Amino acid sequence: MGMITGGELLIRTLMRANVKHVFGLHGAHLETIFQSCLDHQIPITDTRHEVAAGHAAEGYARSTRTLGVALATAGPGFTNIITSVANAYLDRTPVLYITGSSGLAEAETNTLQSGLDQVAIATPITKWAHRVTVPQTIPRLVAQAVRLATSGPMGPVLLDMPMDVLGAQVEEGSVAVPETVLLDSRPMPEPRSIDEALRLLRTAARPVIMVGVGAYMSGAGDELRTLAEVTGTPVFSDFQAHGLLPSTHPLYGGTLHKMADLSRPDERPDVVLAVGVRFGLFTLGMSDLVVPLASRIIHVEIDPKEIGRLRQVAVPIVADPRETLRAMNQNAKSQTWPDRSQWQQTIRTAKIERSKRAQKDLERSAPPIHPLQAVKAIVDNIAEDAIVVGDGAEAYHWMNEVIRQNHPGSYITHGFLGAVGFGLGLAIGAQVANPKRQVLCLVGDGAIGFTIAEFDTMVRHRLPIVAVVMNNHSWAASQHFQEIVSGKNRVNATELRDANYHEVAAAFGGCGQRVTAIQELGPAIKAAFSSGRPACINVAIDLAPLPPELHLLMARH
C-alpha cells in the first residue's frame, strides 16, 4: 500500500456517506481535495463566487433531503460563503462546508489568506464547527460531521482543514474509513402523547394541520396525507413543506399566511396540529392572525427549543414528525371522526374568495404587466414536476399567491434569513440534483445582480435553468417599505435602472429575451426550456402593486 493525502481521506469518507457531487471554487489550500475528486470522478460544480457554491449545496440538499457539500478556500473563500452557512443554519439545511485554511506550521505568521479564526466565526451559525489538526482523524471527524448535519434537526456543519493537514501523506492502510456513515435512527413519540393529541384533534370543531421543515425533512408526506384524510383535517404548509400534501388535494388550504383569511370568529381554527413547524415569521410572530391565541396547539417538533417559543403548547411531542404521524395514524384509523365537511368547505370558500380578489389584476389587458400576471404565466407554462426557486422579495410573495406543487422540495424559497440574491445558486444545486426536471428561478432585478455571473457556471456545466427577472427597476420591497413607513417623497437609494439582464445571460453563452407584453411570457418560457440552454427572461413589470402577503407583514410595522 502506498501513501495517500488528507484530501483523499476526506473524499473516501464522503463517498461512504453517499456523496456524489460537490460544489466549490478552487484555492490552492484545497488542491488535494480537487485532485481526489478527479481520481474518484466526483464532479465539482465550480461557481464564480463561493456564496453561489454554498447556495448550490443548499439547493441540492433541499431538493433531495440529502447532504449537500460545499468547498471554500481559506480567508476570502470562507468569508464569501458565510451567507450560505447562515441561511442553511436558519433553514435547517444539511450542508457540510469544507473550508481550507493556512497550514498549522504557519500559524500566526501573517501568511496568505490567514489570520481569521474561521471556526470561531462559524460556530454560532452551524450545528458544529471544528478544525481538523491530525490527518489520521479525518475519516472519523468527517463521518461525525455528516451524521450531525443529517440528523434531526438537520443543519450545517463546518470542517476547517489546514493546508498541511489536507496535503499530509498518510500510509494508506493505517487509517480506516468507516463502512457506514449515515444514521437511520429517529426519536419516537410517547404513546401517551399520541392518545392526547388524537383526543384533542377529535374534539375540535375547526382543526388544522400546519406542516413545516421538520415534516418535509423527515419525509412525512404519505403519513400526512393519511392523517388529513382519515381525520378530515385541512392542511396548511410553510415555505419548506410546500407540496408535501399536493396543492391539488382537496384538503390543501395553502401557505401558512393564508390562514389569516380565516378571520371571522366562526371560521378561526380551534385546534392546531403543528408538525415540524417553527413559529415566527411564517405564523406572523406574536400576532394571532395566523394561529388564534385561543387555539389549542399540538406541537410535534424534533427540537425542544422550538416548543412553546411563541405559544403555549397543549400537547408537546418532541419526536420525529414522520414517526409521530405514523403512530397517530395507527390509532386514528380505528376511531370514529366527526364529519368535517362544513369546515372543509369554509376553507375552500376562503381560497375561492382570495382568487376572486386576484381576478381583476390577472385580467389587466394593457402594459405594464401586473406582477401577478407574470407569476401566473410562469406556473401555467412549466412542467407539472418543475422545481421553482423563489428569490427577490415581492417577486416570491407574488409567486406564493399562485404556486402549485404536487411534489415536496420543489418550491425553494426564502426562510428566516431572507437573503435576497440566493436564487441562482439554489437553482444550480437543484438542477444538478434533478437533471431531468425543469428548474425555474424567479428573481427580482435587484437580487439577480448579486450572482449574475453564475450564468457562466450554468453554461459551462450545461444546466438549462430558466431565470425570470421581475424587472421593476427597483429594489421594490425596500422602496415600498420606504414609501409606507417614511413617506412617498422619502424614497432614497432604492431605485435601479432598467437594465438588459437577458443580454448578460447571452454574453455568457446562454440565451435571453426581453418581455414587455403578458402574451409573450408563456411562449418565452416554453421556448427557453426547449432550447436546453440556460436562459434569462427579462420581464418588464409594474412597480406599483404590493403583494397581499406584504400588506399583512407591513401592517405589523
Q: Which residues does the annotation mark as catalytic?
A: 29, 50, 113, 418
Residues 235-254 as b or e (16 or more Cβ within 10 Å = b): bbbbbbbbbbbebeeebbbb
Nearer to ligand TPP by Cβ, of 418 and 522: the residue is 418
Nearer to ligand TPP by Cβ, of 83 and 118: the residue is 83
CA 255/CA 406 separation, integer angstroms: 14
Tell me the closest approach of the beta carbon of residue 427 to ligand TPP, in angstroms: 15
Nearer to ligand TPP by Cβ, of 37 and 470: the residue is 470
Chain residue whose CB lies nearest ligand TPP: 444
**CA distance readout (Å), 58 to 61, 159, 361, 412:** 5, 16, 34, 10
Tell me the closest approach of the beta carbon of residue 478 to ligand TPP, in angstroms: 4
Answer whether 505's CB lies under 8 Å from 442's CB: no
DSSP strand pairing (271-275 vs 296-301): parallel
CA 198/CA 213 separation, integer angstroms: 22
- The grid coordinates of residue 109 equal 505568521
Tell me the closest approach of the beta carbon of residue 280 to ligand TPP, in angstroms: 16
Nearer to ligand TPP by Cβ, of 17 and 447: the residue is 447
Interacting residues with ligand TPP (CB under 6 A): 392-395, 418-421, 444-447, 470, 472, 474-478
Angle of the 371-380 helix axis to the 341-362 helix axis, nearest 10 = 120
Residue type at position 348: R
89 burial via Cβ count (<10 Å: 0-12, 13-18, 19+): buried
Tell me the closest approach of the beta carbon of residue 472 to ligand TPP, in angstroms: 5
Nearer to ligand TPP by Cβ, of 329 and 478: the residue is 478
Tell me the closest approach of the beta carbon of residue 68 to ligand TPP, in angstroms: 20
Q: By C-alpha distance, which of 96, 142, 106, 134 is closest to 29?
A: 106
Tell me the closest approach of the beta carbon of residue 504 to ligand TPP, in angstroms: 15
Tell me the closest approach of the beta carbon of residue 393 to ligand TPP, in angstroms: 3
Nearer to ligand TPP by Cβ, of 441 and 470: the residue is 470
100 burial via Cβ count (<10 Å: 0-12, 13-18, 19+): buried
Answer whether 269's CB lies under 8 Å from 207's CB: yes
Nearer to ligand TPP by Cβ, of 317 and 448: the residue is 448
Q: What's the Rg (C-alpha) of the chain?
A: 24
- The grid coordinates of residue 421 equal 440574491
477 burial via Cβ count (<10 Å: 0-12, 13-18, 19+): buried
Reduced to 3 states (helix: H, G, I; strand: E, B; else coil), residue 179 is coil
